[in-house]
Amino acid sequence: MPDYKNILSNRYPLAQSWTLAVAERAGAYGPAKKALGTMTPEQIKNEVKAANIRGRGGAGFPAGMKWGFLNPKPGQDVYLVINADEGEPGTFKDRTIMEKDPHRLIEGCIIAMYAIGAHKTFIYVRCELVLSIQRLEAAVKEAHAKGYLGARPFGKDHAMEIVVHPGAGAYICGEETSLLNSLEGQRGEPRLKPPFPAVKGAFGMPTIVNNVETIASVPDVVAMGGEPWSNLSLLPPEMKDGGTRLYGISGHVLKPGVFEAPVGITLRELIYDFGGGMLHAGRPLKGVIPGGSSTPVLRPEDKVHAPDPKSPMNKWHGKSHLDVPMAVDTMRNLGTMLGTCCAIVMDSSVNMVEASRNLMKFYHHESCGQCTPCREGTGWLEDTLNKLASGRGKASDVDLLVDISNNMMGNTICALADGTAMPMLAFVRKYRKEFLEAADKGLSPSQTRLDEAVRAALVGAARAQSHASHAVGGAA
């Protein structure tokens, strides 16, 4: 495995890495000093554009271009809003920044506020992430005390405040307009677009909403320069998908966790190198969800079909889906999405009817209920899967899953319905046999347990450890 350098996460292993003293000794706030002291907002925006940062929250929208949409009218406040409502199943990377290096996010906010002409940032953190909230609030206080926030940060006449705002438990608030409604003290229902937040966002003012990791990358972009940072990516520059990023891996691998690597490693590297390979030698990979539960599942046996030399995917013609570099555009060409770049790995013990039922239950619970196709569709999908699992289903129910999904997509205000329907369709298309078998005879009790394969080890561990110690060990 190549020796990739940790840049974004280089301060994670330091003791007390979340404190200003430790972070600053390791380089924090140097880039902010450079940006506010020697650069104009235009220059910073140009570096961010040249860095080709594709939004790290899941949609992959170019961050530099998003900043370019701002065009405030005289007298209007501009807000920066950080989306820290991390909750896409499979995704747990932003949390690592907030827990281990909150000053990197705050420094990114300082540089971004200066660049886009904002004086206030709201960091919207899901309230379950209590430690993240505590560390961010403490870091904001420290930055204030040092004068890095407040009336004249780094001697610049550009007042800055950061407010850490807790959510209250709703997946949908990760959708940017729903997040804005929630920030304003409303129910977190998505807004119709346009107007986009850059025109009318938080409190009716022009607003940029960026993901935690996106903004935490900005200090390194300023320090290195946009183009050199972009070139950290393994992809050719013309793909405009630059830099280094956090990858997550969970499920049936030996070493689940968050890793930093350049943009463009393959799923095979993520699973077998970073993730340490499959959890159990006797249970091969069956499917992998590449970037959070809203991204359609991939099978290792599927090959890229792009015989046309003009196709952007021709380079990987005949190769397994696992051997294609993970990028916003390549994953889209495979019929899935890069999403949050946090993969969920499922081995041969997993029944895909049950796996999809778990996720559809999630989406049904999390649909805000505003649009009928989503409110009814998510529930109908869950009901239909419950029927199939319990043996009350019939073969036509499998087609019904497809039908419902097709009628959800594109018919709602936000992307939650699409993020439900797309993975549902992929599960049915790629594992149709399992769905038809369930229609025929339902699922056996062990098939309805996604943890059947690991249960013996878990309970075994309990037995082995009993009478030993009551101390709780560190992370295995």
Partner 1 sequence: MTTPAQSIAPLTLTPDQERRIDEILGRYPTRRAACIPTLHVCQEAIGWVSPDVIAYVAQRLGMATSEVQGVVTFYTMYHQAPVGKHVLWVCRTLSCDLRGGKTIQEHAEKRLGCHAGETTKDGTWTLKKAECLAACGYAPMVQIDDRFYENLTPEKLDALMDRIEKGEMPTQEETAWVPNTASS
| Of 297 and 425, CB closest to partner 1 | 297
- DSSP annotation of 424 reads H
Judged by CB under 8 A, does residue 169 bind partner 1?
Answer: yes
Check whether the bond before 72 is cis (ω within 30° of 0). no
Binding to partner 1, residues 70-109 (CB under 8 A): 77, 86-92, 94-96, 100
> CA-CA distance, 114 to 106, in Å (whole number)?
12
Exactly one of 167, 197, 226, 325 binds partner 1 (CB under 8 A); that residue is 167
| Of 92 and 431, CB closest to partner 1 | 92
| Of 241 and 354, CB closest to partner 1 | 354
Judged by CB under 8 A, does residue 15 bind partner 1?
Answer: no
| Of 159 and 459, CB closest to partner 1 | 459
Judged by CB under 8 A, does residue 184 bind partner 1?
Answer: yes
How many C-beta atoms surround the C-beta of residue 390 within 10 A?
12
> CA-CA distance, 180 to 79, in Å (whole number)?
11
Pairing of strands 342-347, 257-262: unpaired
Max CA separation in the chain (angstroms): 72
Decide if 262 contacts 247 (C-beta within 8 A).
no
- Options 1-9, 27-35, 65-73, 404-412: segment touching partner 1 (CB under 8 A): 1-9
Judged by CB under 8 A, does residue 9 bind partner 1?
Answer: yes
Q: Look at residue 135 and give its three-state secondary structure.
A: helix
Binding to partner 1, residues 259-298 (CB under 8 A): 259-261, 274, 289, 293
Q: How far is the CB of 247 from partner 1 (least distance, A)?
A: 9
Q: How many residues does the chain have?
A: 476
> CA-CA distance, 68 to 46, in Å (whole number)?
10
Q: How far is the CB of 397 from partner 1 (least distance, A)?
A: 22
Q: What's phi and psi for 420, nearest 5 deg?
A: -90, -45
How many C-beta atoms surround the C-beta of residue 62 within 10 A?
19
Site string for partner 1, 379-418 (x = CB under 8 A): ----------------------------------------
Site string for partner 1, 36-75 (x = CB under 8 A): ----------------------------------------
User: Tokens 């966002």, residue?
Assistant: 201
> CA-CA distance, 329 to 350, in Å (whole number)?
29
Count of residues of this chain found to bind partner 1 when the rule CB under 8 A is applied: 87
Decide if 254 contacts 266 (C-beta within 8 A).
no
Q: How far is the CB of 5 from partner 1 (least distance, A)?
A: 7
Judged by CB under 8 A, does residue 203 bind partner 1?
Answer: yes
The helix or strand, by DSSP H or E, that contains position 329, with its residue range, turns out to be helix 328-333
- Options 211-219, 318-326, 355-363, 392-400: segment touching partner 1 (CB under 8 A): 355-363
Judged by CB under 8 A, does residue 194 bind partner 1?
Answer: no
| Of 181 and 231, CB closest to partner 1 | 181
